[in-house]
Amino acid sequence: MNKMVRILVVEDDTDINNMTAEFLRGKGCGVEQAFSGTEGRLLWQMKEFDLLLLDLMLPGLSGEELIRQIRENSRIPVIVLTAKNALEDKVEVLGGGADDYLTKPFELEELWVRIQVQLRHRGSMAGEKELIFKDWVIDQDARVLKAGGKAVELTAHELGIVELLMRHPKKVFTKQEIYEAVWQQDAFIEDKTINVHVSNIRAKLRAGGAQDYIQTVWGIGFKMTE
C-alpha cells in the first residue's frame, strides 16, 4: 500500500487491543486505539480513518449502536471482532452495516487479509476521493471545495472546518471540538476564533454566489443544515 492506512481499533480487552494495534503498526498502518464505544465514537468524529475494527460488547456505547451512528453518513469499512459466534448474531451485525465479521480468537494474518480486501473494495467505490454534501464537493486529493460547481478559495483551517462538518452533517460541533479537530490542539480558545473563520467561509461563499449550509446552533456551535 502506497499511503499509510489509518485504522481505528475499538476494543475494551486491553491485551487484544494492544496486540492488534502492535501488529498493524508493524504492517505500516497508522493506528488509534479506543477502549470503549464512546471513546471510539469521539475519535471517529474527530479524526480521519480508512477502516474501523470494532468489538460489539463495549462499555459506554455498544458496537451495534456505534455502527448505526457511523452508517448515518459514512461508508468507512467496518470489521467486527467479537466472541459472539451464533449465525443469528452474524446475520444481525452484517445486516446492521458491518462489512465483515471475525470471531475471537482470530489469527492476525487472517485479519490482515480481510483488512486488505475491504480496502480494495473501498478504493474501487465511486466517489471515494470526493466528500459530498448537497451541491458542495471537496476533492480530497486536491484539497479544494466546489460549491454549486464553483471553486471556493479557502485557507487550510477554513477547509478543515468545512470538511469536519460535511463528514458528520447531523452532529452539532462545539467551537472547542472544532478547534481540537482542525487545529490538532486541545488548548482553550475564545469563541471568536471559530466565529471569525466561519464568518470568512460564509463571506467567500456569498462572493461566489454559493449556498451557505453551515448552521449556527446558538449557545453550542455549528452543524450542517438538514
Q: Is residue 71 part of a domain?
A: yes
In this prediction, residue 205 carries a pLDDT of 95
Same domain, 118 and 134: no
Cell output for 13:
480487552
Q: Is residue 96 part of a domain?
A: yes
Give the domain-ending residue among 90, 124, 158.
124
pLDDT in tens, the chain (226 residues): 445 788 999 999 999 999 999 999 998 889 999 999 999 999 988 888 889 999 998 998 999 999 988 887 778 899 999 887 777 777 887 888 888 988 898 999 999 989 988 887 765 443 456 788 888 988 877 788 999 889 999 998 999 999 889 888 888 999 988 988 888 776 766 778 899 999 999 999 999 899 999 999 998 999 998 7
Domain that holds residue 45: 6-124
DSSP assignment of 60-79:
SS-HHHHHHHHTTT----EE
Nearest CA to 174 out of 121, 111, 223, 129 is that of: 223
Q: Is residue 1 part of a domain?
A: no
In this prediction, residue 128 carries a pLDDT of 52
Cell output for 26:
508493524
Helix (H) / strand (E) element for 205: namely helix 191-207
In this prediction, residue 88 carries a pLDDT of 77
Same domain, 29 and 55: yes
Identify the CATH number of the domain in which residue 62 sits: 3.40.50.2300
pTM for the whole structure: 0.57
Give the domain-ending residue among 76, 94, 124.
124
Q: Is residue 26 part of a domain?
A: yes
Indicate the residue type of 100: D
Same domain, 65 and 28: yes
